[in-house]
Chain A
Amino acid sequence: MRNQKEGNSVTRRDVLKLAGTAAAFCTSFGFLHAGQTGGVVQDKHLQARWQQAEVKWYAGSELLHSMAMPARVMKHLESDSNATVEIKLFRAGQMLSSLGKIHAKY
């Protein structure tokens, strides 16, 4: 609409709006696969695979730090449904406790 009145070039704003709309439709409709050669997969829950994992530390409601899983780890987690994530607490090299193991598929 407003973009239609702009010049003949594609602006960064156009690209951001395209990407934002793609992300919105992808999430709200469950369109998880699309390409120029293929069709579209409509899905509500069945293919809801996560694409990014983060570890976050909170103090009450305040987010202290957020860290994304390294790409190498993500690649492994995505490709192996039996992969697991385990969270352990250490002090001076000695394991104090394990907070548990999470299966990657979740």
Chain B
Amino acid sequence: MAGPHEVLGMSRLLGISTTEFLSLYTDNGGTTLRSEADGRCVFVTASGCRVHPQRPLVCRLYPLGRMTDETGVERFALYPLQSGCKAVAGREGTIDTFLNSQGIGPYLEWSSRYGELYRRIVGLLDRLDIRCKVGAEAGGPGRPGTAVQEQEHDREPLSSWQDIDASIAEYCAAHGLEAPAEIDDTILLHLQAIKEWLDNLDSRIENTAPREEVPEESGAV
């Protein structure tokens, strides 16, 4: 799993754009890091993780899993270590100590901020009476295709918002702004751009219904 802010961090570390990163290193609509044929993450090498300083939250948490309920109460679980994993895990210390050692704070904050936007999106879809179906498949039932075609389809981002560099470039061009250089500033602007998009949709969604529209371009919407 890799959120747009995590993709941004890793792409900056590698010196490439988020557009390139999504194309080269992600699967499942740009939502997960690509795996090699043997199942290991594309960034795991014999000498360790290539993006370790900017690794995603899920990697920072491991071997813990975290979930919160609707009231915000956190729960953690301990996963069995993967075979071949050289990490040393123990039960000494506290979860807080472990989380702090992994620099998790900012990631939880960003996750929370994107979560607020996600709830708004789901709310808008509800108002449009759209049941959000997640996990749409490539080459779905009754649509034979090659495995290669499926794989290519899986690699297209599900949403153009996942590509922060492209989103920010478009936003800045429309607003006469200069794209921020810092990762945190870029994420803040990304959140702001999505919020404005939702505000705009929110205001248009009253007394309106979806109408047919000829697609103007292919790829991510």
Contacts and interface: CB of A to CB of B under 8 A. Distances in A.
A78 B102 CA distance: 35
A33 interface: yes
B51 to A, nearest CB: 16
Interface string B131-151: 011111101111111111110
Interface size class on chain B is 35 or more
A81 interface: no
B43 interface: no
A11 B31 contact: no
Closest 8 pairs (CB-CB, A-B) = A43-B67, A39-B70, A21-B159, A27-B31, A24-B158, A68-B141, A20-B159, A28-B31
Interface in A17-32: 17-31
A38 B147 CA distance: 39
Contact of A8 (B112, B136, B204): B204
Interface of B: 1-4, 6, 28-32, 57-58, 61, 65-72, 75, 77, 79, 108, 111-112, 114-115, 117-119, 121-126, 128, 130, 132-137, 139-150, 157-162, 167, 170-171, 174, 193-194, 196-197, 200-201, 204-205, 208-213, 215-216, 220-221
A46 B135 CA distance: 17
27 contacts: A4-B200, A10-B128, A10-B208, A16-B221, A18-B125, A22-B118, A23-B133, A23-B134, A24-B29, A24-B30, A26-B134, A27-B32, A27-B134, A28-B162, A29-B118, A33-B70, A35-B126, A39-B68, A39-B69, A39-B72, A40-B68, A42-B111, A50-B135, A54-B137, A62-B146, A67-B141, A67-B142
A9 to B, nearest CB: 5
Given A20-B158, A23-B159, A68-B140, A1 B197 contact: yes
Interface string A37-49: 0111111111100
Contact of B118 (A11, A31, A46, A64): A31
Interface of A: 1-4, 8-31, 33-36, 38-47, 50-52, 54, 58, 61-68
A13 B170 contact: no
Contacts of B139: 63, 66
B203 to A, nearest CB: 8
Contacts of B142: 66-67
Contacts, number: 213
Contacts of B1: 27-30, 44
Given A23-B159, A28-B4, A65-B144, A3 B114 contact: no
A51 B134 CA distance: 8
A94 to B, nearest CB: 29
A27 to B, nearest CB: 4
Contact of A41 (B70, B123, B211, B212): B70
A21 to B, nearest CB: 4
A23 B118 contact: no
Contacts of A18: 121, 124-125, 128, 130, 201
